[in-house]
Structure 1
Amino acid sequence: MFVAVTAWFLSIVFLCVFLFGYANRIAVNWNQTDFLFHGATFVFYFGAFLLQAATTSLHHFPRKFNSTTHEKILADHEYNISIAASIFAFATAVCYGCSTALALRRWRL
């Protein structure tokens, strides 16, 4: 959730910078900034995907190994939500990865 909210907030900041014309007043290489932003966001989203997928894979393990009850770490409903979160985190990471590659190409040309 932290990754998604931070990426959304920074995207809104970049949008406002370009909409209000501050990009022309600030002496920054915007192609490099775009590449760095999308690259960092890709790394964070991919890390979030790996953590979510690792948590999802623990579904069948019991909560306590020495317990006689067979209560799972994730309930079935939580497991389904976790699968969906893993898929969407991966899809978002792929999109940011493609955007990073395009930003690198634009920056280097």
Structure 2
Amino acid sequence: MFVSVTAFFFSLLFLGMFLSGMVTQINANWNFLDFAYHFTVFVFYFGAFLLEAAATSLHDLHCNTTMTLQPLLSDNQYNINVAATIFAFVTTACYGCSLGLALRRWRP
């Protein structure tokens, strides 16, 4: 959740700067900043995807509580984790493609 909210906030900040025309007033290499932003978000989303996939893979793990074996994740929690893993993968792939395009813009 932290990764997605932070990425959303900084994306809105970048969009606001581009729409307001501040990029023409600030002397910076915007292609590099775009590449650095997409690289950072890609790394964080990739880590979140791996953690979510690892948590989903624990579905068949059983924990011993009061002498009965219960699955670590219920079926409903497992279905939610599968959906979250798929969406995290799609988001990571989109940021990876955007990272590739930013690299292409930055490196002529």
Shorter-chain TM-score tier = over 0.9
Task: Report the counterpart of residue 69 of structure 1 in structure 2.
Answer: 68
**Equivalent-residue separation in structure 1 for 2:30 and 2:71 (angstroms):** 49
2: CA distance between counterparts of 1:44 and 1:67? 38
Instruction: Flag the structure with higher strand content.
Output: 2
What SS is found at the alignment partner of 1:71? strand
> Can you list the C-alpha shifts for 1:43-66, whole angstroms capped at 9, x where unaligned?
1111000000000001111123x7
Q: Which amino acid aligns with 1:100?
A: L
Q: Please, what is the CA RMSD of the aligned residues? A: 1.1
Matching of residues 1-109 of structure 1 within 5 Å: 1-64=1-64, 68-109=67-108
How many residues in Structure 1 have an aligned counterpart in Structure 2? 108
Pairwise CA distance, 1:67: 5.3
Q: Where do 5+ consecutive residues of structure 1 fail to align?
A: none
CA distance in 2, matches of 1:106, 1:86: 30
Aligned-pair identity in percent equals: 56
Structure 1 segments, 4+ long, off by >6 Å, are none
Q: Distance in 2 between matches of 1:68 and 1:59?
A: 19
